[in-house]
Amino acid sequence: MPETEVKATISKSTGLPRKRFYRARAHSNPLSDSHFPVPISPSQFDYSLHYPQIFPSSDQVDGSRKVQFADIGCGFGGLLISLSTLFPETLMIGMELRDKVTEYVKERILSLRVTNPGQYQNVSVVRTNSMKYIPNYFEKTQLTKMFFLFPDPHFKEKNHRRRVISPFLLDEYAYVLKPGGVIYTITDVEELGDWMKSCLENHPMFEALTEKELEADPVVKLLSSATEEGQKVARNGGQTFQAVCRRIVPSDQTS
Amino acid sequence: MEVEEAEAEVESNRDNVEVAPALISVHPDQTSVAVAVGPDLRVFDLLSGCAASLVDECGAPFHKDSIRAIRYGSGGKLFVSAGDDKTVKIWSTESWRCVCTVSSEKRVSAVAISEDGCHVCFADKFGVVWVVDVAGSDRKATPLLSHYCSIIPSLAFSPDGRFIVSADRDFKIRVTNFPKNPLSGAHEIQSFCLAHTEFVSCLAFVHARECPEGLLVSGSGDSTVRLWDISSGALLDTCEVAAKAGLLESNGEAEEHSHAVTDLCTTLNGSLIAVAIQSLQGIVLLSCDVSAQTLSFSKVVSIAGEAFVPTSLGFSPGEGKLWMVTGVSSLPACNYPPLARVRVISGIDVEQEPVVVRDDDIPGGERLLETLQGSASVDESAFLAAAEAVKTAMCNLLIKKQYPADNRESRKKTRNDRKLKN
């Protein structure tokens, strides 16, 4: 019996999980206490569980190969799937707070791995609160790209501290990003777009990419086209606001 | 229904036990000793042998709610007290005049004074660390850094003044570069020290000639004391203090979190570290080998004759004396005034055998006890109840509430957004 139940959630034609079985609330409170397991430190993050083909057992984990891209609040995983084939050699992870959505992405990756042998081995997803536990997953300067696509806008001023881009959280993102690493943000809410842009541009450890650099970066195009949220905005003819910044070493940072 | 009732009971118990432990701090030149219990701040001047009279233009009482943190600056000129009344008071240790009162938006959980004595930092209950420029014209608090909504029980500056270290209840210790101009924020994180499996309750530095930033020691709800290299965040050594002190064997079926480390303090040369553990009537001494970067269990110093579980420790380096206090702001369900008991251990030295000083031989004698305890003799029967209340309060504050699955479901039903629908 349970077997057929599991199968019912997978589409017969595509072999992919069907979204309607993974409906979740649109928002989740990042301030509430978490009751899911979190690695004590990055060294305890089990790569063999997430990338079984690349790391067949937990003893053989190659210390030099680590996750480099993190999609924070990855939602249904559209961007990760696109990035996976664009950067097949790079390990990447999605972080999502809503457990049902995380389950969906997990199933989606597993089915893609089955239907496309050899592909999608470099992507995975984890259910976590990235606003609290970023340092538990990544070491200093480990990441080269971080994505914050269509985050929860939290309009009320008293809820601004729940926003995933904030001056204090940027300190932590700067810590896990390698100098030269890039942070990508996009939203369809103008107010939030302005907020993210000003937080990033006022931070001493970030600097905006130039127009030229933005055009040359293949990832920038994916921001609005690859994600489910982005496609929805495009369908409705909505506007998007993006801010893309590089992690820099501030000049007064001598010590 | 039953579930809800039980839950309501648990909740009401929690409300009852919000009490603050008694705190102690010793002037680096041992000219004075301060004890805070509940809203009372008591300072004894060891040079003149009498109570220091505190002067505050804002009037008495100085604090209107429990004091949660007191500290002398390493230079000894300043003293800071702060707590649940959302005020931070900076005192001059010469005149014992309140130099300035800074208000905080939230309750204050920890304080620290920069090595040069120019900045006072404090942490609030939302995990934000604020900085005040003591010499500046505008003594308002400016946000310095933030742990995302996690209570910060301890803050400390590295001995070379380059780093500010903050510990939180999410098991993390964050080491941040303390910038030249801290009023524009401390953005550069040097490292995270990650290995504790429960809240981190206390921090202290071991001074080392070969490394100016010192070695960090931390105590935690996981009953361990750990030694860290702060520039890399590397764990150097771990000492399972509760197990080493024999607490686990004697109490096999001990409830969880019953042996949390509550406070620790290092001697000036750092070779010995005194540790206070919940349920231990006495202290544990650890020895730290700076060059080998190891921590090892040295001995337990028991306090015979009375049930004394220290809630806070302070060290006077010149005399090799460890000051201890136990006590609580109030006892739930009984009408006790704030309770404090001060004891001293002398001969804290690798060579000597530590001795628990009798009340008659305590520096400052009976007058000191009268000042710091409120009276020379204290009702001993309340001590254990006080220690128990402090323990429960600490666990409630720092350990995430775990609800059984069905209990969680019933809580969800009462969620505000669901209420609107029904």
d(CA B124, CA B116): 23
Model confidence pLDDT, tens digit, residues B297-344 = 999 999 887 889 999 999 988 788 999 999 888 876 666 678 899 999
Q: Identify which of B149, B188, B197 has the shortest CB distance to residue A31.
A: B149
Span between the terminal Cα atoms of chain A, in Å: 63
Beta carbons within 10 angstroms of residue A109's beta carbon: 22
Question: Distance (Å, rounded) from C-alpha A207 to C-alpha A248?
Answer: 7
Assess B192–A contact: CB distance below 8 Å, yes or no. yes
Q: What's the number of CA atoms in the CB half-sphere (13 Å) around residue A92?
A: 27
Q: What pLDDT shows up at residue A148?
A: 96
CB count within 10 Å of CB A100 equals 13
Which residue reads 């959980």 in tokens? B109
Separation of alpha carbons B418 and B133, rounded Å: 46
**Chain B residues within an 8 Å CB radius of A33:** 400-401
Q: Which residue has the higher pLDDT, B406 or B85?
A: B85
Contact residues on chain A for B188, CB-CB shorter than 8 A = 171, 174, 205, 250, 253
Q: With beta carbons under 8 A apart, name residues in chain B contacting A199.
A: none
Q: Which residue has the tokens 């995270």?
A: B192
Token pair of A87 as six digits: 């950067």
Whether residues B143 and A131 touch (CB distance < 8 A) is answered with no
- pLDDT score of A16: 80
Q: Would an 8 Å CB–CB cutoff place A158 in contact with chain B?
A: no
What's the predicted TM-score (pTM) here? 0.90
Q: What is the pLDDT of residues A102-112, one digit of tens each?
A: 999 999 999 99
Q: Complex ipTM above 0.95?
A: no
Segment B25-84, tens digit of pLDDT = 999 998 999 999 999 999 999 999 999 999 988 877 899 999 999 999 988 999 999 999
Residue of A nearest to B149 (CA): A31
Listed residue (B301, B314, B310) closest to B328, CA to CA: B310
Whether omega for the bond prior to residue B61 falls within 30 degrees of 0, making it cis, is yes
Average pLDDT, rounded, for chain B = 87
pLDDT digit string (tens) for A81-135?
A: 999 999 999 999 999 998 889 999 999 999 999 999 999 999 999 999 999 999 9
Residue of B nearest to A247 (CA): B188
B286 strand-pairing partners: B273, B297
Cα–Cα distance measured from residue B99 to residue A12, given in angstroms and rounded to the nearest whole number:
74
What pLDDT does A22 receive? Answer: 75
Interchain pair A132, B150: CB under 8 A: yes
Asked if the Cβ–Cβ distance from B400 to A255 is below 8 Å, we say no
Using the Cβ of A165 and the Cβ atoms of chain B, whether some distance falls under 8 Å is answered with no
B15 pLDDT band, cuts 50/70/90, is very low
3-state secondary structure A53-91: CCCCCHHHCCCCCCEEEEEECCCCCHHHHHHHHHCCCCE
Sheet with B98-103: strands ordered across: B67-72, B78-83, B87-92, B98-103
- Mark yes or no for CB contact A132/B145 under 8 Å: no
Binding residues of A for S-adenosyl-L-methionine: 73, 96-97, 129-130, 149, 227-229
Q: What is the pLDDT of residues A43-80, one digit of tens each?
A: 999 999 999 999 887 666 666 789 999 999 999 999 99
Whether A177 has a pLDDT exceeding 90, the answer reads yes
**A28, A164, A169, A172: best mutation site toward chain B, by most B Cβ within 10 Å?**
A172
Residues A124, A50: Cα–Cα separation, whole Å: 6
At B294, the pLDDT band (50, 70, 90 cuts) reads very high
Q: Residues of A with CB below 8 A from B195's CB?
A: 40-41
Cβ neighbours of residue B420 closer than 8 Å, sequence gap 6 or more: none
Q: Which among A99, A158, A175 is the top mutation candidate for probing chain B, defined by the most B β-carbons within 10 Å of its own β-carbon?
A: A175
Interchain pair A253, B188: CB under 8 A: yes
Task: Give dist(CA B271, CA B205) in Å, integer.
Answer: 11
Residue of A nearest to B129 (CA): A168
Q: Is B333 exposed, middle or buried (0-12, 13-18, 19+ CB in 10 A)?
A: exposed
B420 pLDDT higher than 80: no
3-state secondary structure of B386: helix
Collect contacts of A28-32 with beta carbons under 8 A, ≥24 apart. Answer: A28/A97, A28/A98, A29/A162, A30/A97, A30/A129, A30/A131, A30/A132, A30/A162, A30/A164, A30/B148, A31/A161, A31/A162, A31/B149
Instruction: Please give the backbone phi and psi of residue B27, each rounded to the nearest 5 degrees, phi first.
Output: -60, 140
Q: Which of A132, A170, A139 is nearest to B127 (CA)?
A: A132
Q: What sections of B165-233 are H helices per DSSP? A: none
A44-247 under CATH 3.40.50.150, yes or no: yes
Yes or no, beta carbons of B145 and A169 under 8 Å apart: no
CA angle A69, A74, A79 (to 5 degrees): 65
Rounded distance between C-alpha atoms, residue B280 and residue B345, angstroms: 15
The encoded tokens of residue A64 equal 């030099």
Mutate to test the interface with A, among B105, B158, B194 (most CBs of A within 10 A): B194
Picking from A41, A135, A167, the nearest residue to B195 by CB comes out as A41
| pLDDT at residue number B57 | 85
Smallest Cα distance from B118 to chain A, Å: 20
E strand residue ranges, B168-266: 172-177, 189-194, 200-206, 215-220, 225-229, 234-239, 261-266
Average pLDDT over residues A28-49: 85
- Is A152 catalytic? The answer is yes
d(CA B4, CA B213): 52
